[in-house]
Structure 1
Amino acid sequence: MTTRPPQAFTDAQRMELRSYVELAGEAIAQFWPMRTFIHHNPLHGLETLSFEQAVARGTELFGACGYLSNDTYRRYFRQGRIREEDVRTALHPMAGDKRVTFGSLEVSHQDVLAASLIHGISDPTTSKPSHTPDGDPEAPSRIEAWLASALGNQVVGTPPALAPWPSSDLPRRETLGAWCDRTLGTSIVETLNRELVKWASAFLDEGEVSWSMPEREQTFYRAWKTLARHDLTLRLLGISEAPAKIQALPHRPEEALLQSLMQLGIPKSAWEEYLARHLSAMPGWSGYIKWRAHQSDHPWQEQFPIDLVKYLAVRLFYERELVDQACRSQLGLAGNTGDIAAYIDHHPHAYWFRREWIAGRLSSDAAAIGKNLAASDRRHDHTQWEEAGRRQYEAVLNEHQARAIRRGADRLLRLAQALSVPLESVVTTAPSDARTILQWLEDFPPSHHGAVWLEAFEGSHRHQLLSELQTAAQQPPSTPSLGEGDSGSRPLAQVVFCIDVRSEVFRRHLEDRGGYETLGLAGFFGVPLYYQPFNAHHTVTHCPVLLKPKNHVRELPRSYHGVLAERHKTAAQLAEAAHTLLHDLKENVVTPYVMVEALGWFFSLPFFGKTLLPRWYHAIGRWLREMLTPAMATTLTVDKLSREEAEEMVAAEQRGQIREILRARFGLSGPTLSPTLLESIRRNALGQADPTGSEVAALLSLTTENEQALYRDLREHQRISPRGVSERLDRITQTGFSVSEQTYFVEAALRLMGLTSNFSRMVIFCAHGSTSQNNPYESALDCGACGGNQGLPNARAIAAMANHPAVRAQLLARGITIPGDTHFLAAQHDTTTDRVRIVDLEDVPATHRKDLQRLLTDLDEAGTQASLERNRALGQVAAPSDSRRSRLLAQRRSEDWSEVRPEWGLSRNSAMIIGRRALTQPVDLRGRAFLHSYDHRQDASGKLLEAIMTAPLVVAQWINMEHYFSTVDNEVYGSSSKVYHNVVGRIGVMTGVWSDLRIGLPAQTVLNGGEPYHEPMRLLAIIEAPPARIRAIVDRHPLLEQLFRLRWVTLVALDPQDNRFYHYDPSGEWRGGDTNDARVHTASHEGN
């Protein structure tokens, strides 16, 4: 392909192309960087389709499996995890009413489908019968002979087609690169992926590499265009005149992409589908680029822009060149859709022969013919290829009938065994009935079994869970319901946990201690904020990723820790300097050779310590840190400063800056640097005082020119200027919350939980986080509601707000009375070790010390029992007497840098229950349910339930789908084994030295020894509220209607009026019972 002059395109054409790319990108889910790992549905872009359609589309685009293997489901069936009645219920919509006689037994369509599903009659992976029920080894042969006679030429089954689809559909079915790979045996798609990984990983790096990619500020496409001309790989790939071709590419990426689409001959009607297939070739990199392109305020995106158009412009340049090269070399035609389609139409047998040969589906003799043709100078002789293909195709057709008879006989034999039909009676089946049975089996191939198995699996789980809840609902509650007790029945403490499934285990064991009431709320506790830890340079977002906080909170030492705070600052500065020095030495060209000899022994200490003695190593490390920087009590800047306080704070900071400059530049100190002098200099720099500044000049012995130079330096470099003051004031006024804001957040949290009365003496907001070493997926184990961070800052913030006297006064005016002896505390649950740490104990009143001591004891005991339960799930501890060992094992897992599974995380999640704790308290939910507290009696308008259903419920569905798809196909939707992971660019991980960005959960999170630990099923949402109220909320929100009607989530209502469960089916009706029976719930009551 020769270079062509750039073609002129209009703004309208460029905008139109961008719209096509936007549509193509909808099939790709956004991928957040791993430092804030966000659980997401990998098929999120396909949620406008039904679940079954989306799974099929995912298989088409990504080559992924959407269900567990049929063998796995059959094992669940044998174990009793799936009931036969649920299998038949799942088959009911597809089974007809017709019945036939099979041997001596009358069977229905459903009977045959159920037998096929349960016994794998049509599944080629199922082992063939090793014996016959009658002990007759000749029975299979007799059945085969009888079937051949009965069916004659009317064989059940479709003969192989010459082409998988019409040539006109080619660009909608596969890219031209993929077509060449499957027809010509090239590896173009792999080459495209390798090249794009090379360029994208270098461009998207966020500080991991020492020598960053040059020219990145030009954007991805232009940086590649500048640098790729010098890339020798292009010559090795066989792209002729590569530098000239790249130089001739348009300056705009849209025009380069348009040019490539036209040279490939892709019709506009196929653009969306064609580009979607290119993006789905590497959904990890595409998903991350899609995410970053939407983050306009992301500093790396601002500095180094990239989007899907720029990515595709580069990718399709490689494809058009490599496809043209391959087609000209092996077919003697140009690499475009028109020429390829003509080849398919004019030489169909040659086309079939090539694809079958490349796929390895031909006999050894036929494969040798293909090899000889491809290796000789006749490789362009389509006539010879066509003739060879015709002969082979006719042989396959002739074999088809015999193969179909053998397959049919085998299926009937298996069916007879499954239904206990005597073999001698099978041959008495009427030919029409035999043909009907075989057609039923043919129309229900193993590839269609997964959806039915999933439906039955979910039905069995739903039946079990609803039965347990129904039984529990008939029992009297062990603790008073919220708002129903009197002053004599106050709980010992009320502990608010995150809705995370791991919290359910701890809540259950804490309640077993007696006298405690636990509640569930999203782990950021309804307070979105930016958090800046003490000595940290940057803020961290602590809220769900779809929210943008408005308020900043800083961690500061308590006032009595002034000296200790300076010690911490000094230690942090020294540590940062040492880290920078070490990094610079390691990345220098020369110094690593010296460092290995001089410091290698030093680095061996942590290596052996972390590997062989992790608990001792970390214990020594904690002791050293305590010696160097003792623990220091801190507080958060929850209260917002007034305007006057903020202005004085800025003035004090600026006077401090001026003092340091005068010390360094003029050697002044002591009484000379009086507050009056510093303020005078500050006001002069701001232009608010006498510009002559004679007093300042005299005190500093400065000429007028030098004095003005000082002021300029303060304005330009220290930002002591009106604009600098304004910007600083803006930042300060965003720090903390006003009283009205605090009241709003506290009231919202309390009302969402239904906690508006009967407060205990202590209310604890218990956040959660995880502890692990050497774990790129650490943020996936922390709180998703806090943006993949630990939730303690949010807990501290809302506890401080709830203790504020002015906030309580405003709450009182709004109908929420918090007793004067109620104190709110913050705590954090470590989900790896099951230890709970309560903070800000300095603020606990002396009157509560005894209560606090009992709480600490009970939290520790609950943690021991929870740890024992989790260790049993990990297969490490079995006996209840092993509680001490259980604690030690959990601690070791949190500190061992070789540990690939510190905990199971959110695996096995299957349900979200929204309602009062009385509904679930008697039930052992086995850490499988998200629990969100909600009292329907306090929410007549439904606004509180609407907030829960449109936020936490949606996030729970993301988590559920992430685990579902990572389990059913861990290689495609998950991230495979952690053992082979390498961190790339500080944004994610790759498998080995190059791969797609791994987008899902690792095998160690969802699999156990290669078998599923997580049980993949769609989320079951159970809501305790009047069905009419729930229906009204669903009708108002298209997203919820989409999730429920398209079967991404199963919705069940517990009607408080009659204490019965009702299912929301895809038609939008409520149906009673634990299956989809015919009783329609028509009540429109709202309950009392």
Structure 2
Amino acid sequence: MNDVTTPDTTATRRPTAAPSAEAIDRAIAGACAQIAPAWPLDQSVAVNPWWPLRGLPIQQAAARVAARGGARALPDRTYLRKQWMNGRITRADLQAACREADSTLAVDTLVAHLDRPSCTARLPLVADQLDQIRDLAHRTAWTEEIVHEISQLCASEFDRGQGDWPGTRADELYSAWHHNVVRDRGIAILMGEPGLQKRFKDLPDNPDALIRTALAAMSVPAGAIEAYLHALLMSVNGWASWCAYLAWQAELAGQENTALRDLLAIRLAWDWVLYRWLADEGLRDGWRHALTRAEAIEADHAHDQRLDWIWLRALELGYQRPLIDDLTHAEAAPTASRPAVQAAFCIDVRSEVFRRALEAANPDIHTLGFAGFFGAPIAYQPLGSAVSQAQVPGLLAPSLRVIQQSRHGDDDTHRRGASAIRGLHVGDISRRFRWGSTSTFSYVESTGLFYAFKLLKNGLLHQSGSHSSAATTVSEPDPLTLVLTDDDGPLSTERKTELAAGILRGMSLTQNFAPIVMLAGHASQTRNNPQQSALDCGACGGHSGEINARVVTGLLNEPAVRESLREYGIEVPSDTRFVAALHNTTTDHITLFDLDEPGPRHAELIDRLEGWLAEARERANDERRAQLEPETDADGMGYADFQQRAEDWSQVRPEWGLARNASLIVAPRRRTRGLNLAGRAFLHEYEATQDPQHEILESIMTAPMIVAHWINFQYYASTVDNRIYGSGNKTLHNVAGGHIGLFEGNGGDLRIGLSLQSLSDGKRWVHEPLRLSVFIEAPAEAIADIVQAHEPIEQLVHHEWLFLYRVGPTGEPVQRYGRQGWTTVSTTDSVLPVRKSKA
């Protein structure tokens, strides 16, 4: 458990000048700006929880979150020692990491460091100070109770229909809290502090007034205000992250949301109430003195973590070294003059395994990687729904809308829409009744026998009456069609063509089209899993990629669009057909869509393609089996077993998701074809020769590269500190606030990030916490120019949140880009300066 800095109770109180209103506003804004957003469960987007701190060197950011919130941003020393003992970290890697850090420390000194305890000093909150003098063996800790009270309030106020009861619905979060807390006598009774409630009655009823008044009343040192407010938010980091998401979404819509500021006021109010309840001027002065050491505590952590960074770098070099060697010496794989099939998959690391398997099934198949939303910035509105869901990465806002219409006319559309709405209403009523606190027992009484059969069927027989979209098989034409629209109605051919040209160029697919071009979105298939969205396509906003694949293939199959593409210099042969598909990442089954009237030649090719896909599935299943069930014989787990895992509601690890992700490779597939990248690399197709102005490269580095970094750091953070940045034990999860997030058990802070079961097999960490290594095959000057033109990219690279490498022609050494420009990388020695870019 992290220790707060022990207050100096002998410090004398000295009057200090009150900070100005402007200074307080800056401190509030600064504290709030350091909280990253957390997306809701039903549209999960992986996020780097330290994204707002990217303007700092990663080492400084790590020291800051440790000092202010007791958070870890590095693998713990026990884990690092295991990697040393099992040979994953070698002496050569440690020595190379030391050279990078300009350190002359001996390896034995570094090894001895792993036996030392880590620094646990932390900026103290008033609640922390009270807990130090409280009998915690017999009484509830103030820190726990405050988090519990705030968390229950937030779950009620942000509820979207799944809470125990509606709760007080106020226009603002702080107002709702203030309304409740002045009437709640239970807290004082529970905590054994009679009279405490009176301290809440005279609190300001406005959050801004509360913040100003409390800071002045507690005489918080002006230089420590932002650090103190940030520490308060970190004590309820889960809900702070949710409020930051609301602010993020509001900003995308050109609006403002103040929930995070309200949450800060609530958490500060608790500290102020306890400050007044403390009524010991010596302890108060000691606490204030500890706040003045905010920078010193951060410096202590930075000093303590210096050698940990060398160990982490050694771990990363152990992954990078063989990969750089492979990329340097890989011979470009020959490709057919015209492939039999071109198959585009999401850049997701899970696709790498299947792509390799598919190419092994038929060498004349050419696979490529592209962001899974396939360049279609759409929101999807299902038939019968008034709500649309964004099918784009979290960085973007959809600019187009896709609606469903019946091919049998408007009457059929309305009829089916009305039926869908009725189904939604019935399901919603059932769900509310089942989860409502006053009706739970009567619901169980009335449906118990039915659910007993359902549990028996799903738990023992592994049968299910429902499937995810990933399991759906289309055996006949869908009578519904997808219509692409904007604010003015259906898109014109001109707009469609412009969109289609951008998509094809983004995939580096503008010539030599195969007879069949398959665009495969992806989705997961799991049951009883509130985090399923985290296993679906992140580029599609945590949804299935089916809609995007079908919309884009429909667009590219339109004769008018094909004709107009010639104006962009793109000639799609008349015998080329685009086919939409969905990759089920749990079972590696591929579903093909919209296959009505393919024509004799295409029908034959599709039959053959289905055979190749089935063979690829078997190969991929074999590889994944070794990861999921390493002790099971190769013949002991087949496709049926993967299907069973997908349908088993008790299965906590239906698949590994993006665990072990470590690199992004932006290059032609011929560069990596034949390499076994072990499902650890994001693969994005890119042909520099087709991008003379480097516009496509710029779009890759400013969007997919950021998305890959976010995914990488969500896994990283969830591994190094699951207590704060992960979601704990999946078997204890309860959904909070509808679809907002999770509680572990029935309380505590909102849990964000990934569960332990998504990262560990119960015996060891399966995910390795490594920063993303990005490899780009493009001119060095173009890469450097893009880095310098975009501040977020420059921050990530210069502050070592990721590593950026350039891959040249085969045999040419790989180069790394950083603050000093370009350096040549040797896989057998250290990183040697070779030249600086002109930047």
* TM score, norm. by length of structure 2: 0.88
Q: SS at 2:39's partner residue?
A: coil
Deviation at 1:886, TM superposition (A): 1.9
Aligned match of 1:538 = 387
Residue identity opposite 1:638 in structure 2: V
Matched, 1:283 2:237: yes
Q: How does 1:240-279 map to 2 (within 5 A)?
A: 245-279=199-233
Q: 1:263–1:336: 8 Å Cα contact kept in structure 2? A: no
Question: 2: distance between equivalents of 1:342 and 1:1063?
Answer: 42
The separation in 1 between residues aligned to 2:262 and 2:216, in whole angstroms, is 17
Match for 2:355: what amino acid? R
**Residue number in structure 2 paired with 1:41:** 48
Q: CA deviation at 1:858?
A: 0.8
Listed as ranges, the gaps of 5+ residues in structure 1 are: 1-11, 97-108, 127-159, 166-171, 346-441, 481-488, 641-731
How do 1:225-624 residues align onto structure 2 when only pairs under 5 Å count?
Answer: 225-236=178-189, 237=191, 245-296=199-250, 306-326=258-278, 328=279, 332-333=280-281, 336-337=284-285, 341=289, 448-473=306-331, 476-480=332-336, 489-514=337-362, 515-559=364-408, 572=420, 575-576=423-424, 578-580=426-428, 582-583=430-431, 586=434, 595-614=443-462, 616-618=463-465
SS at match of 1:1012: coil
- Residues 199 and 273, structure 2, Cα contact 8 Å, conserved in 1: no
Alignment partner of 1:991 is 2:839: no
Amino acid at match of 1:46: L
Alpha-carbon offset, residue 453 of structure 1: 1.3
Report the counterpart of residue 9 of structure 2 in structure 1.
none
Q: What does 1:689-708 align with in structure 2 at a 5 Å threshold?
A: none
Structure 1: distance between partners of 2:707 and 2:354: 21
- Measure the CA separation in 2 of the matches of 1:982 and 1:238: 29
Give the letter aligned to residue 174 of structure 1: P
1:199 equivalent in structure 2? 153
Match of 1:638 among 483, 505, 508: 483
The answer to whether the 8 A contact 2:161-2:737 is kept is yes
| TM-fit CA distance, 1:875 | 1.4
Q: C-alpha deviations, 1:33-92, integer Å up to 9, x for none?
A: 111111111111211111222222222223233322334333333433223222111123
User: What is the distance in 2 between the residues matched to 1:31 and 1:822?
Assistant: 42
Question: Would you say 1:875 and 2:629 are equivalent positions?
Answer: yes
Contact map agreement 2:126 2:287 (CA 8 A) in 1: no
| Matched residue, 2:592 | 838
Distance 1:66 1:513 in 2: 42
Matched ranges for 1:946-985 at <5 A: 946-985=698-737
Of 566-575 and 507-516, more deviation after overlay is shown by 566-575
Q: Secondary structure at the match of 2:638?
A: helix
Change (3 A) 1:573 1:964: closer
Instruction: Name the CA distance, whole Å, in 2 between partners of 1:1006 and 1:805.
Output: 47
Aligned residue for 1:1060, secondary structure, equals: coil
Aligned match for 2:690, one of 926, 933, 938: 938
The residue type paired with residue 178 of structure 1 is D
- Taking CA–CA contacts closer than 8 Å with sequence separation of 6 or more, which of the two structures ends up with the larger relative contact order? 2
2:19 paired with 1:27: no
CA 1:249/1:469 → structure 2, altered by over 3 Å: closer, same or farther?
A: same
CA deviations over 1:270-312 (Å, ceiling 9, x no partner): 211110010011211111112213433899x99xx75222222
Q: Indicate the residue corresponding to 2:296 in structure 1.
A: none
Q: Which amino acid aligns with 1:318?
A: W
- From 78, 81, 84, the equivalent of 1:77 is 84
Matched letter for residue 244 of structure 2: K
Q: Which residue does 1:677 correspond to in 2?
A: none
Asked if residue 897 in structure 1 is aligned to residue 742 in structure 2, the reply is no
- Hey, what does 1:912 align to over in structure 2? 664
| Residues 815-836 of structure 1, C-alpha deviations (whole Å, 9 max, x = no match) | 1111111111111100001111
C-alpha separation in 1, matches of 2:545 and 2:289: 58
- CA 1:17–1:1077 in 2, change beyond 3 Å: closer, same or farther? closer
Tell whether 2:71 aligns with 1:123.
Answer: no
Structure 1, residues 849-876: CA drift from partner, whole Å, max 9, x if none?
1001001111111112112211211116
Partner letter of residue 557 of structure 1?
S
C-alpha displacement at 1:522, in angstroms?
0.3
What whole-Å deviation, never above 9, does each CA across 1:800-852 have from its counterpart, x for those lacking one? 11112222222211111111111111111000011111101115334311001
The change in CA–CA distance for 1:630 and 1:818 in structure 2 (over 3 A counts) is closer
- Tell me the SS of whatever aligns to 2:87: coil
| Secondary structure class of the residue paired with 2:216 | helix
How far off its partner does 1:555 sit?
2.1
After superposition, give the CA deviation of every residue in 1:478-504 in whole Å (9 maximum; x if it has no partner). Answer: 424xxxxxxxx2111100100000000
Q: Aligned equivalents of 2:604 and 2:791: distance in 1?
A: 51
State the AA in 1 paired with 2:624: R
1:222 & 1:1024 partners in 2: Cα distance? 55
SS in 2 for 1:1001: coil
Structure number with bigger Rg: 1
Displacement, 1:637? 3.6
Higher helix share: 1
Q: Which amino acid aligns with 2:107?
A: A
Using a 3 Å threshold, how does the CA distance of structure 1 residues 66 and 596 change in structure 2: closer, same or farther? closer
Q: Deviations over 1:239-285 (max 9, x none)?
A: 66666654433332101121111121113322111100100112111
| Structure 2 equivalent of residue 1030 of structure 1 | 783
- Secondary structure in 2 aligned to 1:173? coil
State the alpha-carbon separation in 2 of the partners of residues 80 and 932 from structure 1: 32
User: Would you say the 8 A contact 1:324–1:334 is kept in 2?
Assistant: no
Distance in 1 (alpha carbons) for counterparts of 2:212 and 2:133:
26
Q: In structure 2, how many angstroms separate the alpha carbons of the residues matched to 1:778 and 1:225?
A: 36
Query: Whole-Å Cα distance in 1 between the matches of residues 409 and 475 of structure 2?
Result: 14
Structure 1 residues 590 and 84: alpha-carbon distance in aligned structure 2, compared to 1, 3 A threshold: closer
- Over 3 Å counting, the alpha-carbon distance change for 1:843 and 1:64 in structure 2 is farther
CA contact (8 A) 1:912 1:929 kept: yes
**Amino acid of the structure 2 residue aligned with 1:520:** G
Question: Does the residue aligned with 1:1007 lie in a helix, a strand or coil?
Answer: coil
C-alpha separation in 1, matches of 2:443 and 2:810: 75
Q: Are 2:330 and 2:671, in contact at CA under 8 Å, matched by a contact in 1?
A: yes
What SS does the corresponding residue of 1:27 show, helix, strand or coil? coil
Deviation for aligned residue 1:568: 5.3
- Rounded to whole Å, the distance in 1 between the matches of 2:468 and 2:701 is 45
Coordinate RMSD, CA, aligned: 3.4
How far apart are the structure 2 equivalents of 1:84 and 1:492? 48
Q: d(CA) in 2 for partners of 1:769 and 1:954?
A: 21
Residues 734, 844 of structure 1: alpha-carbon distance in 2 compared, 3 angstrom cutoff? farther
Q: Does 1:180 align with 2:130?
A: yes
790, 799, 802: which one pairs with 1:1046?
Answer: 799
For residue 660 of structure 2, give the secondary structure of its aligned residue in structure 1. coil
Q: Which residue of 1 aligns with 2:3?
A: none
Residue in structure 2 matched with residue 1000 of structure 1 by the alignment: 753
Q: Is 1:1070 aligned to residue 823 of structure 2? A: yes
- C-alpha spacing 1:800/1:15, structure 2 compared with 1 (3 Å): farther
Report the Cα offset of residue 1084 of structure 1: 8.3
Q: CA deviation at 1:1011?
A: 1.7
- Displacement of 1:620: 11
CA distance in 1, matches of 2:302, 2:795: 28
Q: 2:605 aligns with which of 829, 844, 851?
A: 851
Q: Which stretch of structure 1 is more off in the superposition, 803-812 or 908-917?
A: 803-812
Structure-2 change in CA distance of 1:581 and 1:1017 (3 Å): closer
The yes-or-no answer on 1:826 pairing with 2:580 is yes
Q: Percent identity?
A: 32
**Structure 1: how far apart are the matches of 2:811 and 2:368?**
25
C-alpha spacing 1:335/1:318, structure 2 compared with 1 (3 Å): farther
Contact 1:553 1:735 in 2 (8 A): no
Q: How far is the alpha carbon of 1:907 from its aligned partner?
A: 0.4
Q: Which amino acid is the alignment partner of residue 477 of structure 1?
A: A
Question: In the alignment, which residue of structure 2 is the partner of 1:153?
Answer: none
**1:926 maps to 2:654:** no
CA contact (8 A) 2:80 2:114 kept: no
